[in-house]
Amino acid sequence: MKVTEDIKYVGVNDHQIDLFEGQYIVPLGMAYNSYVIMDEKIVVMDTVDRNFGDEWLANLAAVLGDRKPDYLIVQHMEPDHSSNIVNFLNVYPDATVIGNGKTFTFMEQFYGKNDSMKKQVVKNGEELVLGKHVLKFVLAPMVHWPEVMFTYDCTDKVLFSADAFGKFGANDVEDPEGWDCEARRYYFGIVGKYGLQVTKVLKAAAALDIQTICPLHGPVLSGDLSHYLDLYTKWASYTPEEPGVFIAYTSIYGNTKVAVEKLAELLGAKGVKVAVSDLAREDWAEAVEDAFRYDRLVLATTTYNNGIFPAMHSFIEHLTEREYQNRTIAFVENGSWAPVAAKNMKALFEKSKKITYTETTVTIKSALNADSKAALEKLAEELAG
C-alpha cells in the first residue's frame, strides 16, 4: 500500500490475538504498522509483533525489490513493535538501527547485547537526510513508554506517531463504529495516564505542517486531520468530550440494576444523554472509555465484605490510575444492613483532582422503596441541572 509516492505500508493484521497487551479484548483484531521510505537511503519504520515476522519480512522484501534498507528506525520498544529487530538484522545485517539512548537500553534488556549491530543514537530535533527526504526526530517520552519518539518526514509532511493516534482493530476489516470509539478505548486504556506528556508532544507537533499521520496501530490518517487532533487535545487534557451521564454499576440480585434503569429513564426523560454498563459482565476498557467520554459519572454498587463489590473496586482503580479528573461523580449504594459502599467509593477518589460530587447520594436498603425512589428523582434532577 502506498502512503505517498515514496512511503509504503508494510504492516500486518492480527486476527489470532485473544487479548492485546494481555488484557484488552480486540474483537476486530489488531494491526501492527510498519512503513518504508524509499529514497537514496532507505528507511524502515519499526518492526511488528513476534508472530508475524515472516509475513512482515515478505512485505518488506516485496517493496524493496533488489535494494536493501539502510536504516531501521525504532520509535517504540514495546514488543508489539520491536519483536522482529533481531530477525530484521539477520536478513539485513548492514542496516543501521536508529533510536535514542533509552531505546538501546531496552533493546539490550529484551533481546540481549548485540555487539555487531550498527547503531545510531539520535536526540530530540536531530535530522536525518535520506536524499530528497529529511526526517526529524521528536522525542515523545511516556507516549506510551519512556523511549518513544515520533519521526516527521519534512518532505512529504508525514508524522510517524508511534502509538499516538492508534486504535484497536485490524486494517483489513471495516470498523462499523468508525475511528473514534476504538481509538478512544485504546487511548484511555493504554495512554490515558500520560495526558500531560501527550499534551506536551501535541504542542511540539502543532509547529509542524502535518498532512498525514502514520501511527503504529490502525489506519493511516490523512485529509482533514483536525477531527483527530481535536479529540486528542481533549483526551490528553482530561476535558470531557461531550455532555452526558455514564452509569457504571454492579448488581448481585438485580435490585441495584432496577435502580440504575430507573435513573437512566429519569435522565433520559430530561433529555440527558445516558450510557450504562454492567461492570461485572461488560468490557471494563469500554467502561473506562465512557467514563472519560462524558462529563458526569454515576457509580452504583452494593456493599460487599464491608467494602465495595469487587468489579466496582477494580473499575475505580482503573479510573484513578489513569488520572480521572475534571468531572462530576454521584454514588448509588445498596446494602441490606450496613451500607458503606458510597463512603468507600468516595475514599478511592481521595487523591483525584478536580472532582465535584453531587449533593445527593442514593442509599438503597435491599430494594427500591418510596424513599430511595425519591432520592433517585432528586439525583436525576441534580445531574440534569
Binding site for ligand FEO (CB under 6 A): 76, 78, 80-81, 144, 163, 216-217
Amino acid type, 214? C
Shortest CB 198 distance to ligand FEO, Å: 13
- Do residues 62 and 156 make contact, with C-beta atoms less than 8 angstroms apart? no
Q: Which is nearer to ligand FEO, 83 or 277 (CB)?
A: 83
Q: Which is nearer to ligand FEO, 53 or 335 (CB)?
A: 53
Shortest CB 91 distance to ligand FEO, Å: 23
β-bridge pairing 24-25 and 96-99:
unpaired
Q: Which is nearer to ligand FEO, 235 or 331 (CB)?
A: 235
| Other CB atoms within 10 A of residue 204 CB | 15
Q: Which is nearer to ligand FEO, 26 or 63 (CB)?
A: 26
- Do residues 216 and 144 make contact, with C-beta atoms less than 8 angstroms apart? no
Please work out, in degrees rounded to the nearest 5, the angle formed at the alpha carbon of residue 3 by the alpha carbons of 78 and 182: 50
**Distance (Å, whole) CA 245 – CA 263:** 10
Q: Which is nearer to ligand FEO, 215 or 335 (CB)?
A: 215
- Residue with smallest beta-carbon separation from ligand FEO: 78
Shortest CB 89 distance to ligand FEO, Å: 21
Shortest CB 158 distance to ligand FEO, Å: 19
Shortest CB 144 distance to ligand FEO, Å: 4
- The residues that bridge with 120 in the sheet, in sequence order, are 98
Q: Which is nearer to ligand FEO, 144 or 185 (CB)?
A: 144
Amino acid type, 129? V
Shortest CB 339 distance to ligand FEO, Å: 41
Shortest CB 317 distance to ligand FEO, Å: 21
Joined grid coordinates for residue 67: 535494494
- Of 85, 108, 109, 226, the C-alpha closest to 165 is 226
Q: Which is nearer to ligand FEO, 80 or 289 (CB)?
A: 80
- Do residues 299 and 316 make contact, with C-beta atoms less than 8 angstroms apart? yes
Rg (the chain; Cα; Å): 24
- The residues that bridge with 121 in the sheet, in sequence order, are 99
